[in-house]
Amino acid sequence: ETGVTQTPRHLVMGMTNKKSLKCEQHLGHNAMYWYKQSAKKPLELMFVYNFKEQTENNSVPSRFSPECPNSSHLFLHLHTLQPEDSALYLCASSQVGTIGTEAFFGQGTRLTVV
Amino acid sequence: AQSVTQLGSHVSVSEGALVLLRCNYSSSVPPYLFWYVQYPNQGLQLLLKYTSAATLVKGINGFEAEFKKSETSFHLTKPSAHMSDAAEYFCAVSGDNQGGKLIFGQGTELSVKP
């Protein structure tokens, strides 16, 4: 595996379900991110993790719960979601502290809440 | 505070014609600027980035962008469009060197006509 991989690629869940999105980066980076991409809206940064520590939570509802057990893995735990949470969820990683660094994105998980 | 405005949610060009996608930014600190491309059902791929070195930045697939501080612009161009360039393009700004804390524009969908 190379780059940033996300699983599953597609997920359909009911509003009472609990599910998790997984992200793994194979780039040796020290920071990971969750973004939400909804139709007709700009990509929104949800969470930032630097060296496994959460450094940013952009007013995300508590029904989204991130977890970063190590610098290579990032999870997004989902529970009691709403239909408006249906979106493409993108994970990214970067190397903080490197001049001119950039984010590398995974292919995303397409989430549909029914 | 930072923001990005992409003029035109949809741009259509003929194959072989010039591609021009517009991006204006607002930043209270010297910005890092990025253009990403997204193909259907895919994640984001970096086209190019400006990190305060040369103002004319060359990227992949023949794209380039020019940073103009006086106009707060970072427009993306390609001299000759190819069918494979059809995708959605996102301009993004960051105010620090983390690489992944990005503010995105709304995106511009590029169509290429044969």
* Span A51-63, pLDDT tens digits: 888 888 888 999 9
Q: In a mutagenesis test of the B interface, which of A27, A30, A43 is the best target, namely the one with the most B β-carbons within 10 Å?
A: A43
Residue A87 has pLDDT above 70, yes or no: yes
pLDDT at A72: 95
- C-alpha A74/C-alpha A54 separation (Å) is 11
In angstroms, what separates the C-alpha of B8 from chain A's closest C-alpha? 13
In tens, the pLDDT along B29-53 reads: 888 999 999 998 889 999 999 987 7
Residue A84 CB-density burial (10 A; 0-12 exposed, 13-18 middle, 19+ buried): exposed
- C-alpha A8/C-alpha B46 separation (Å) is 23
In angstroms, what separates the C-alpha of B14 from chain A's closest C-alpha? 25
**3-class secondary-structure state, position A86:** coil
- C-alpha A21/C-alpha B99 separation (Å) is 22
Residue B78 has pLDDT above 70, yes or no: yes
Handedness of CA B44, B88, B97, A44 (dihedral sign): negative
Of B44, B98, B105, the CB nearest to A94: B98
Q: Produce one character per residue of B57-83: b if its CB has 16 or more CB atoms within 10 Å, e if not.
A: bebeeebbbebeeeeebbbbebeebee
Q: What share of chain A is helix, strand, coil (3-state, %, to 5)?
A: 5, 55, 40
- C-alpha B76/C-alpha B68 separation (Å) is 12
Quickly tell me which residue has 């952009």 as its tokens: A58
Residue B6 has pLDDT above 70, yes or no: yes
How does the average pLDDT of chain B come out, rounded?
93
Please answer yes or no on whether B43 and A50 come within 8 Å at the CB atom: no
Residues of A in contact with B98 (CB under 8 A): 31, 48, 50, 94, 96, 101
Which tokens is A105 given? Answer: 């994105």
- C-alpha B27/C-alpha B98 separation (Å) is 16
Q: What percent of chain B has pLDDT over 90?
A: 80
Query: Where residue A41 falls among pLDDT bands split at 50, 70, 90?
Result: confident
Query: Taking Cα atoms as reference points, which of B6, B23, B34 lies closest to residue B102?
Result: B34
pLDDT at A53: 86
Which tokens is B31 given? Answer: 């910005």
Residue A18 has pLDDT above 90, yes or no: yes
**Quick one: residue B107, left, alpha or beta (phi over 0 = left, psi -120 to 50 = alpha)?**
left
Residues of A in contact with B99 (CB under 8 A): 31, 94-96, 98, 101-103
- C-alpha B100/C-alpha A102 separation (Å) is 6
- C-alpha B93/C-alpha B101 separation (Å) is 9
Residue A1 has pLDDT above 90, yes or no: no
